[in-house]
Chains A and B, each alone.
Chain A
Amino acid sequence: MRRIYLDHAATTPTHPEVVKAVLPFFTDAFGNPSSIYSYGQEARGAVEEARTKVAELIGARSEEIIFTSGGTEADNFALKGVAFANEPRGNHIITTSIEHHAVLEVCKFLERRGFRITYLPVDKYGLVDLDDVRKAITDKTILISVMHANNEVGTVEPVEEIGRIAREAGVYFHSDAVQTVGHIPVNVDKLKVDLLAISAHKLYGPKGVGALYVRKGTKLVSLMHGGEQEKRRRAGTENVPAIVGLGKAVELAGQEIGQEAERLACLRDKLIKGLGKKIDHIRLNGHPERRLPNNVNVIVDFVEGESLLLNLDLEGICASTGSACSSASLEPSHVLLALGLPPEQAHGSLRFTLGRENTEADIDRVLEVLPGIVAKLRAMSPLSKT
């Protein structure tokens, strides 16, 4: 059976060119970048080349890029790093209720350490209100952290405007851009961010590597202590193959970013339209316009998300849900609840996130099999009594 992968927000397949670029750094060019002989210097050169590529894609300077083990570490680094370095100035951090757990759980940790966190609400589309941001700032505020785009519902936040507010207030601004870098244009000066988290495996790079952009002059403490790597800001021998992979992935993403976003948005709109036409009692989550070009997130009334996923998987289609039943926590998606959805509807959420191998035929296939799956599940659902 042909498998159709529609869960690119979870992870992406590594680009073949990335794999090709990475391989020599396991074998011929295996050196430690800290070593002064040629093996080491080859590796050092490759790491610095990757750093330049990442910096170029987001309009930063290469010395402002710190490689990490991924998006989660980058978010941890930004929040804890700024919090602990700026504690004498204040203990207040502003974020949103729809951030990724890599931000929310760090905030909860910081709360237990005496920091005060404001979790801004969002409207029914998942958008943060700029007035809420302004009102939340106090003289104790040291950091604002708002994601560039939401990983579940695809809503693109007004980051540029929030960046302006933060700058005027003299507050550091971090954005988790894991879902946007390489997919839609990201420029650190335009967005006015001081910190920005990047993950490689969301843009066809390898897992286990990411980066944190840190604007020059931003005060933050290190999380990893040890050797002098990354200008003493992140100790530990560099994951050279992965970093090279991130560099290559970013380079490739930069080459096709505009046209690929346009292509995906067409497929996305076809899917949204088709679902609405073929299935009744189905609604789009997230913002109708301000959304990621590859994100489709819907509520299918009267049915539960995991059952939908299992049935889709039996047809070779990989998707995702915010239903509690598919998570170990047994809680429905905090994002969907923050959008104001009742739990029973959050349980029926279904997310498709498209990527570079997807074609119109994939969308047609979803539209062909999903109505039958929904009908079958509704026939056995006590909620869909007629």
Chain B
Amino acid sequence: MTDPWSLYSEKVMEHFKNPRNVGEMEDPDGVGHVGNPVCGDIMELYIKVKDGIIIDAKFKTFGCGAAIATSSMVTEMVKGKSIEEALKISNKAVVEALDGLPPVKVHCSVLAEEALKSAIEDYLGRQKLKT
């Protein structure tokens, strides 16, 4: 490949090179752990929630450029959103925010959406236990 940008958009590569919110979180309010057996990507997403608002999000991902970029993007998108708003974030929205993904890589964005949903479910489950 002579042009590294030809597979991915500049936005994807930017997030790939400088992923936001990488790492584990201390005392998260919700953790999502998902894996895509088709491609082998594994994603962990942590959220911190205060007064129904996601105030912080972090991730750890084993996967390709698209998996890392979508993880980074979804953690950015979710910050400052209410739980209800966050649940509405679709894989499509993540792909659009990244200026698109190659068709074979769209499943990576599905994984990011699932990781977010899984983290929120974990958070909601913990809330139920508290009440």
Residues of A within 8 A of B (CB): 302-307, 310, 313-314, 318, 323-326, 328, 330, 332, 343-344, 347, 379-383
Q: Are B64 and A307 in contact, CB atoms less than 8 angstroms apart?
A: yes
- State whether A304 and B41 are in contact (beta carbons under 8 Å apart), knowing that A310-B65, A323-B64 are contacts in the complex: yes
B74 within 8 A of A: no
Q: Which 9 A-B pairs have the closest CB atoms?
A: A325-B64, A306-B64, A382-B60, A382-B44, A380-B22, A347-B40, A381-B62, A313-B4, A310-B65
Q: Which residues of B contact A314 (CB under 8 A)?
A: 4, 17
- State whether A325 and B42 are in contact (beta carbons under 8 Å apart), knowing that A380-B60, A382-B60 are contacts in the complex: no
- State whether A318 and B1 are in contact (beta carbons under 8 Å apart), knowing that A324-B39, A379-B22 are contacts in the complex: yes
Within 8 A of A (CB), among B31-66: 33, 38-44, 59-66
Residue in A304, A318, A326 whose beta carbon sits within 8 Å of that of B62 in the complex: A304
Q: Which residues of A contact B8 (CB under 8 A)?
A: 310
How far apart are the CA atoms of A352 and B22 in the complex, in Å? 29
Q: Are A325 and B19 in contact, CB atoms less than 8 angstroms apart?
A: no
Q: Are B23 and A330 in contact, CB atoms less than 8 angstroms apart?
A: no
How far apart are the CA atoms of A314 and B3 in the complex, in Å? 10
Residue in B19, B39, B104 whose beta carbon sits within 8 Å of that of A380 in the complex: B19
Q: Are A302 and B62 in contact, CB atoms less than 8 angstroms apart?
A: yes
How far apart are the CA atoms of A64 and B28 in the complex, in Å? 70
Q: Are A325 and B61 in contact, CB atoms less than 8 angstroms apart?
A: no
In the complex, what residue of chain A is closest to B3 when comparing beta carbons?
A313
Residue in A306, A332, A343, A383 whose beta carbon sits within 8 Å of that of B65 in the complex: A306
Contact count band on B: 20 to 34
Distance in Å from the Cβ of A159 to the closest Cβ of chain B?
A: 33
Given contacts A380-B60, A381-B60, A383-B42, could you give 11 more A-B pairs where the C-beta distance is less than 8 Å?
A: A304-B40, A307-B16, A313-B1, A313-B4, A330-B104, A332-B40, A379-B22, A380-B19, A380-B68, A382-B42, A382-B61
How far apart are the CA atoms of A314 and B10 in the complex, in Å? 13
Contact with A along B67-94 (1 / 0, CB 8 A): 1100000000000000000000000000
In the complex, what residue of chain B is closest to A380 when comparing beta carbons?
B22
In the complex, what residue of chain A is closest to B60 when comparing beta carbons?
A382
- Please name 24 pairs of A and B residues whose Cβ atoms are closer than 8 Å in the assembled complex, sorted by A: A304-B64, A307-B63, A310-B65, A313-B1, A314-B4, A314-B17, A324-B38, A325-B64, A325-B66, A325-B67, A332-B40, A344-B40, A344-B62, A380-B19, A380-B59, A380-B60, A380-B61, A381-B60, A381-B62, A382-B42, A382-B43, A382-B61, A383-B42, A383-B62
- State whether A324 and B1 are in contact (beta carbons under 8 Å apart), knowing that A304-B63, A380-B19, A382-B60 are contacts in the complex: no
Distance in Å from the Cβ of A312 to the closest Cβ of chain B?
A: 10
Distance in Å from the Cβ of A308 to the closest Cβ of chain B?
A: 10
How far apart are the CA atoms of A332 and B40 in the complex, in Å? 9
